[in-house]
Amino acid sequence: MAFNWQRIMKIGCHRGCTLVYQRNLQLRPLTCQFQRRFGTEKRNSFFVTTPIYYVNAAPHMGHLYSSVIADATARHRNINGHDVTFSVGTDEHGLKIQQASKLHNLEPEVFVSQVSQMFKTMFDGFSIAYTDFIRTTEGRHKEVVQHIWSELMRQGFIYKGEYSGWYSVSDEAFLGEKDVLDKTDDQGNKFKVSAESGHPVTWLKEENYVFALSQFKDKLNAWLDKGVIYPKNFETDVRCYVNDLCDLSVSRSHSRLTWGIQVPGDPSQTVYVWLDALFNYLTVSGFPTKSQSVWPPDVQVIGKDILKFHAVYWPAFLMATGLEPPRKIFCHSHWRVDNTKMSKSLGNVVDPFALKNKYGGQADVLRYYLLREGVPHHDGNFNEKVAIEYVNADIVNTLGNLLQRCTATSLNPDQIYPRKYMDVYQSKFNTSDRETFENLEMLVETVNKHYDNLNFYLGIESIMSYLRWCNGLTQAHAPWKLKNSTNPSDIEYVKTVIHISLETLRVCGILLQPAIPAISDRLLSRLGIPAEKRTFELARKPYLNSPDFYPLGPNDGVLLKRLDVPNS
């Protein structure tokens, strides 16, 4: 399959970058060699990833948001019986790292280890139940990158050329004339910045290696046709990128960038940080030694600022090596703070550690708010007062209050999870309430569907609607008014109200596990639900089949103490 590089020079790189080819190349057709050897047979497995986070600065709430979405997805799949691989990690190479470590008077390996540990502390502190923490400075990853590079060279998809254009150090990317804007500083000096990120750029010309990205336009569009970008509104941006492709510089001069993986066979060049970083997901999968694999990723959670890299460069790299691209790219929007973009210069970057410590070390407080209020298709607005009011209203009042009412010794002296009495149920509860209670199975289906689509905010709202209904029902029937009655009919009535409340709590507690695992565990333990009976499948079935009651679990106090609302 021969390509006319003179023609490609005219039509493949029309965004303002200049690319001079040193020789004609014969590109080989795409091969499935890796697929046959590596294997893509799917077991009952599920592979979900976060981005690997760049360690030039400490983690912030945006990093936590991506991680919590991916964690909730992993937990949901695990509860439903999947063999989950869930990877997180840190991206530790590149010019920004090289510069940041110098600024801190540290060797790069010392600097990246310190910041990487901060991310690991965040993952562990917010119950991010990863199965693999990958660092791109690990030997296993270096081997994969060099293996892939050699294969891309062998296949003819990487060639050497002279590349010139505007270069953004912050974005680690060359940009064309269409991608930069003119700016003027306070002294009247003109300079150029990236139109997309706003970061400053400089003109750079150097010899490096180039990946034949422009060849993959049709294949990328065919992949996009499968609906792999979610939410759908982000697909438009990806189509624009794909329809405006030019070949991609995939190395940097080692004299300028020393902190990275060297190009195999050419120590004068360092592998481009994004080609290096993206293959971390392949490293996690066990490539190339495992005969059976979780590949491809079922869903990759990313922020919209790195959409181009994951939805254009990444699948093209995989296609060139004969590997299947990811099945879903889930792209979320960003968080603003009090309707203002988070910025170090403004001092409004939200520190997740500080918030967690402020509210008693409860990781679920921030987890709940991010999943409850985060809408993937547009930017969220973080306001601490609103966040705490939501948590108090939903977790403390709605969920916690219902549990306290129905497990209090004054109302439930025997500390049991009783059955309902059908005569009382039919006579004392109206048709609407009976239908709502009997549709708990449908709630499981609804929430399952929302979680499958990573729309956790919709799933949580469905759960909270049921809990609000159940609180209203309990308030309307006021079983505490009959707690001292010795009339058998009254006792059966009280037990039936308790049963409806506890059964609703059981189902909702199971469904909330992916979002707020610690609080859900305390809830289900109080109800006496053993760990093996907390699956979504069992949530569809009534808990009491034959016995009249089950004993409740121990009382370890309230689920969550009311949080102090900060002053406006």
Question: What's the mean pLDDT when you consider all of the chain?
Answer: 89
CB 35 within 8 A of CB 42: no
Q: Quick one: which of 252, 291, 260 has its CA closest to 98?
A: 260
Burial code (b: 16+ CB inside 10 Å, e: under 16) for 109-127 equals: eebbbebbeebbebbeebb
- Show the tokens assigned to 65: 């948001």
Encode pLDDT of 353-393 as tens digits. Answer: 998 999 888 999 999 999 999 998 888 888 899 999 999 99
Tell me the helix, strand and coil percentages in the chain, rounded to 5: 45, 15, 35
CB 85 within 8 A of CB 45: yes
Measured CA to CA, the distance from residue 77 to residue 64 in angstroms comes to 20
Task: Give me the pLDDT at residue 342, please.
Answer: 74
Encode pLDDT of 67-96 as tens digits. Answer: 999 999 999 999 999 999 999 999 999 989
Measured CA to CA, the distance from residue 316 to residue 324 in angstroms comes to 10
Range name among 89-93, 201-205, 413-417, 536-540 with the lowest pLDDT average: 201-205
Measured CA to CA, the distance from residue 560 to residue 563 in angstroms comes to 8
CB 338 within 8 A of CB 383: yes
Measured CA to CA, the distance from residue 384 to residue 566 in angstroms comes to 7
Measured CA to CA, the distance from residue 368 to residue 360 in angstroms comes to 15
Encode pLDDT of 180-196 as tens digits. Answer: 888 887 778 888 888 87
Burial code (b: 16+ CB inside 10 Å, e: under 16) for 386-405 equals: ebbebbbebbbebbbbbbeb
DSSP per position, 154-165 = HHT-EEEEEEEE
CB 66 within 8 A of CB 332: yes
Residue 22 predicted with pLDDT over 70: no
Q: At what angle do helices 440-452 and 488-511 cross, to 10 degrees?
A: 10
Measured CA to CA, the distance from residue 228 to residue 241 in angstroms comes to 15
Name the residue ranges covered by the structural domains of the chain.
5-25+41-174+201-354, 383-551
Residue 10 predicted with pLDDT over 50: no
Inter-CA distances, 361 with 126, 175, 357, 513, Å: 9, 44, 5, 18
Instruction: Kindly report the CATH number that applies to the domain delimited by 5-25+41-174+201-354.
Output: 3.40.50.620
What is the average per-residue pLDDT within 295-323? 97
H or E stretch including 134?
A: strand 132-135
Task: Give me the pLDDT at residue 347, please.
Answer: 72
pLDDT band at 43 (very low <50, low <70, confident <90, very high): low
Measured in whole angstroms, the distance separating CA 505 from the mean position of its chain's CA atoms is 27
Inter-CA distances, 355 with 61, 66, 84, 339, 381, Å: 10, 17, 30, 19, 16
Residue 19 predicted with pLDDT over 80: no
CB 257 within 8 A of CB 271: no
Task: Give me the pLDDT at residue 183, please.
Answer: 86
φ/ψ region of 361 (left if φ > 0, alpha if ψ in -120 to 50, else beta) reads left
| Chosen CATH of 383-551 out of 3.40.50.150, 1.10.620.20, 1.20.1250.20, 1.10.730.10 | 1.10.730.10
- Show the tokens assigned to 536: 């979504």
Encode pLDDT of 484-541 as tens digits. Answer: 999 999 999 999 999 999 999 999 999 999 999 999 999 999 999 999 999 999 999 9
Encode pLDDT of 419-469 as tens digits. Answer: 999 999 999 999 999 999 999 999 999 999 999 999 999 999 999 999 999
Residue 123 predicted with pLDDT over 90: yes
Task: Give me the pLDDT at residue 164, please.
Answer: 73
Q: Phi, psi (5° rounding) for residue 59?
A: -65, 150
Inter-CA distances, 484 with 36, 55, 369, 411, 487, Å: 72, 62, 40, 9, 9
Inter-CA distances, 430 with 439, 440, 494, Å: 14, 16, 16
Q: At what angle do helices 456-477 and 488-511 cross, to 10 degrees?
A: 170
Task: Give me the pLDDT at residue 345, please.
Answer: 63
Task: Give me the pLDDT at residue 511, please.
Answer: 98
Encode pLDDT of 241-297 as tens digits. Answer: 999 899 999 999 999 899 999 999 999 999 999 999 999 999 999 998 865 568 999
Burial class for 170, CB neighbours closer than 10 Å (0-12, 13-18, 19+): middle
What is the average per-residue pLDDT within 106-129? 96
Residue 90, strand partner residues: 53, 135
Measured CA to CA, the distance from residue 168 to residue 394 in angstroms comes to 45
